[in-house]
Structure 1
Amino acid sequence: MIQPPLDLDAVRAFVRIAELESFTRAAEAIGTTQAAVSLKLKRLEDRLGCRLFERTPRYVQLSARGAAFLDHARDLLEAHDRALASLTRGRQRIAIGISDHVAGPELPALIARMNAQDPQLVIEIRIGSSGDLLQSFDRRELDTVIVRLHAERDDGELITEEQFGWFAAPSWQHRADEPLPIATMAEPCGVRALAGQLLDAAGMPWTEIFVGGGVTAVAAAVMAGLGVAALSPRMIPFGAVDVGLRLGLPVLPRLPVVLHTRVRDGQPRAALAALSAAFKSAVRG
């Protein structure tokens, strides 16, 4: 008896669940509901005659059969996408700006997920400050930007929020009779401005000890023992410690990550949805 072919939408849902370890995040990446994703997976499991995931209220984990199927599922989707792309004229391109305070060590994996969504999509990435990227977006030099919330704007789509802290090297000690030495990014930088405003409002003397052209440079200055920096835990090398409570520093708020885009449909929009869901996963840990 000839078995019916696999439903490619169901296979795509399976791959997204496996990558994001969540039905909810997979639904966000695909642009559908959690119920629809669950139904697609059930139909795929019925077709294959096995459970692909072990599910509990706390986690979603591939079963042994699911882990064995994952690479084959990816190969199937890539072959399908290549076949479709071979019939289209030219390759689509998307130019994306990502704030330096948003792009973290997970960026290579996030780009890989976008490429897996559409291997024929030409992806251009620019890293910079939120303010500069928004200006480039308004000038139509970028199709999409993923930035920290800018004080002068209320547009854009909220992706997630991320907690910040005051980080220093484990061996660093503050001299109480001296201003707090701060490592920060160069202007314009919204996190830099916020940190200064909070310290000033709390009446805490501070001084710039290091100004870096990117978060990587600032994190390096922190680990070199130069001072304290307001950063996301994702951006800090292993071993850095949050000294905010010990030093009585003002609490940093959760800072939004916001998507601005003119891309509304097609494969580029699907790739953006996958990238947004992956950012949520990275921030939530």
Structure 2
Amino acid sequence: MTPRKGERPPVPEPLPVPAFDAHTHLEACGAENAADVRSMLDRANQAGVACVVTVADAMPEARWAVRASTWDDRVYAAVALHPTRTKDFSEADRAELTELAAHPRVVAIGETGLDYYWDYSPHEAQQEAFRWHIELSKRTGKALMIHDREAHEDVLRILDEQGAPPTVVFHSFSGDVDFARRCVERGFVLSLSGTVTFRNATALREAARSVPAEQLLVETDAPFLTPHPFRGRPNEPYCVAYTLRALAELRGVDVGDLATTLAATAKRVFGMTVPLGR
């Protein structure tokens, strides 16, 4: 019997080592209040996922993400204006993002970058906003979380021209082996979502094999990009356990060893210190 698309995938067996969801959208997953957030993180803990970074893509979501990070100590926040929303990036928005970014539960500036797939914002506006977010990352000392869709060359060019912050994370990395190599050479961290489990993602899966484990993270980008074999169904942070197991199999390594390395990277990149469980 084919599962209905509206059903969440089952919660998998817990990972042998606590893992981290480096990029999720708890509000878009349906969380409205502290009780909803706790329920989602409890499900994540059942699968061995210790904590998450919930990410903003617009101003209301940025405010919500910061509030949510205070409701549960397993939740951290990232704030920015998504590139597709930068057509009208006001001075008031910049001032508020600067204030939100200073919150101690905010661990990254993101998601920011370039998106040439959609045409909601002119490329020039996206690039100017990206440069501003790069500088905010450097001022705050917090990781830069990049959204890069069909804009690889301009993303790298702007990072080189502007001067990349010490910590750069490519969220839901979508490049091939060559692009991965150029990112790795610059010291960037590549975060892999459920797309790396898709059987038709040949170039991405090859790239995922090539990146040093110390420069990898895993994420859900929930409620989107649910990993195989549940593609198309609602995603939640606990599903990062499916992606991590698939990545370990793809790389031919022990899942516990890989989880340990990726957890250390998450702590280094974001300063996550939350233990598994309550």
TM-score (normalizing by structure 1): 0.25
Larger radius of gyration: 1
Which structure has the highest strand share of the two?
Answer: 1
TM-score (normalizing by structure 2): 0.25
